[in-house]
């Protein structure tokens, strides 16, 4: 009697197990998405650098301060650019004096040209007078040749001095322009002792304290938008081709447990990060939280496609990714959309086809 009861119990359990593993496809709303981790960052976030090296004299702001464009952030001490500016000013003054001053180089060349013109006029007169006399067979051949040579030498000397004057004038003009440019550049460099904000925003970080050495290679501060934040996502390279601007995203932040936020993809960075084989994607909130901080983390699902009233089965009922077990045996199916739990069935079975969960 006990054996008979035990056998009946086994049959009942087997029947329940079979019933639980047997289902029929269901129609449902199906959403396919790409998963990504999330980091919140201020919009227009940038690192502040100094153009000159030196010693940090004072942080003129504190972390959390709201600043406007061109507001001073950090004061740096460096005497080298000031000395360079003074030297550039002296060089400019000297170049101007050489060009237009009382001791100008051109003045001495002009004096030489005046003397050369007088000599040329005198030698020209003597030569043509002697030439006329020689045409009348008056005078000696040596005297004529001497007057002719002096005339030619005076003419050549005058031409050389005039060329020297033009060349020197051009060189001095160029020297003045170069000195002016160097001086203006030096003045710009001296203004870089005070590092200013490039945007209207908030100071999120200060990396140096007064007294520390500042270089042009290390960031001094981090400044970004005070109110606008972006959602940074890292998307795997196998999924990036399915992402496009404007796609809806569902966001869950660790700091807001249980709350769901929505957004849209706003930017896709084209360069792959070789270290983790991902692409950076940005999105903007449609309904941002009231309070956000840089670095808040969470996760997001980027909606790739949505369908309503589609035939679906649980993914756990698939065999070899594209087959299901039915009363008629193993049948091939054609898949469509899928998410973490369900997959759309395009062909192979109907909503009335019983299917069985494969055994482990």
**Cβ 216 vs Cβ 50: under 8 Å:** yes
> CA-CA distance, 326 to 343, in Å (whole number)?
17
Res 146: pLDDT: 84
Give every strand in the sheet of 355-356, ordered side by side. 22-23, 355-356, 323-326, 329-332
- Output the pLDDT for position 12: 45
Across 146-159, average pLDDT: 85
Structure-model confidence comparison of residues 67 and 155, the more confident one = 67
Read off the pLDDT of residues 280-315 as tens digits, 9 standing for 90 and up: 999 999 988 989 999 999 999 999 887 788 788 888
Token reading at 137: 């067979």
Q: Mean of the per-residue pLDDT values for the chain?
A: 83
Q: Is the pLDDT of residue 46 over 60?
A: yes
Which pLDDT band, with edges at 50, 70 and 90, does 2 fall under? very low
Name the band, by pLDDT with cuts 50, 70 and 90, for residue 123: confident
| Mean pLDDT score, 69-98 | 77
pLDDT reported for residue 142: 82
Per-residue model confidence (pLDDT) at position 310: 78
Q: Could you give the CA distance from residue 66 to residue 286 in angstroms, rounded to a whole number? A: 24
CA distances to 117, 122, 139, 272, 311 from 144, in Å: 21, 15, 8, 89, 121
326-354 pLDDT per residue, tens: 888 888 888 887 777 788 888 888 888 88
Q: What is the pTM of this model?
A: 0.56
What is the pLDDT at residue 10? 46
- Which range among 155-169, 220-234, 340-354 has the greatest average pLDDT? 220-234
The mean pLDDT value for 79-85 works out to 66
pLDDT band at 17 (very low <50, low <70, confident <90, very high): very low
pLDDT of residue 77: 79
pLDDT for 100 beyond 90: no
Query: Model confidence at 14, in pLDDT bands (50, 70, 90)?
Result: very low
pLDDT of residue 85: 72
Does 26 have pLDDT greater than 90? no
Mean pLDDT in residue range 18-39: 81
pLDDT at 294: 92
């Amino acid at each position: 009697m006990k054996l008979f009861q035990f056998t009946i119990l086994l049959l009942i359990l087997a029947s329940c197990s079979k019933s639980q593993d047997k289902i029929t496809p269901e129609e449902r709303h199906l959403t396919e998405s790409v998963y990504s981790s999330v980091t919140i960052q201020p919009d227009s976030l940038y690192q502040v650098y100094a153009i000159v090296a030196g010693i940090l004299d004072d942080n003129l702001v504190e972390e959390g301060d709201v600043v406007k464009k061109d507001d001073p952030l950090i004061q740096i001490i460096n005497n080298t650019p000031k000395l360079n500016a003074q030297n550039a000013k002296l060089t400019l003054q000297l170049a101007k004096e050489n060009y237009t001053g009382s001791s100008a180089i051109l003045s001495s060349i002009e004096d030489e040209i005046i003397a050369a013109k007088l000599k040329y006029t005198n030698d020209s007169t003597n030569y043509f007078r002697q030439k006329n006399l020689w045409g009348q067979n008056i005078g000696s051949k040596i005297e004529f040749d001497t007057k002719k040579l002096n005339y030619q030498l005076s003419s050549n000397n005058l031409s050389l001095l005039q060329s020297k004057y033009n060349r020197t004038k051009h060189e001095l003009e160029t020297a003045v322009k170069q000195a002016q440019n160097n001086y203006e550049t030096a003045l710009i460099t001296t203004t870089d002792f005070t590092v200013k904000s490039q945007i209207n925003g908030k100071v999120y970080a200060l990396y140096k304290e007064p007294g520390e050495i500042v270089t042009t290679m290390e960031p001094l501060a981090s400044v970004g938008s005070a109110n606008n934040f972006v959602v940074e996502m890292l998307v795997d390279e196998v999924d990036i081709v399915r992402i496009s601007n404007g796609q809806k995203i569902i966001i869950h932040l660790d700091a807001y447990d249980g709350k769901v936020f929505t957004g849209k993809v706003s930017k896709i960075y084209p360069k792959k990060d070789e270290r983790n084989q991902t692409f950076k994607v940005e999105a903007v909130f449609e309904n941002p939280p009231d309070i956000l901080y840089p670095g808040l983390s969470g996760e997001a699902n980027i909606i790739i496609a949505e369908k309503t009233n589609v035939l679906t089965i649980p993914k756990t009922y698939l065999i070899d990714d594209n087959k299901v077990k039915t009363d008629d045996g193993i049948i091939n199916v054609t898949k469509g959309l899928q998410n973490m739990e369900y997959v759309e069935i395009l062909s192979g079975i109907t909503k009335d086809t019983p299917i069985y969960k494969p055994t482990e």
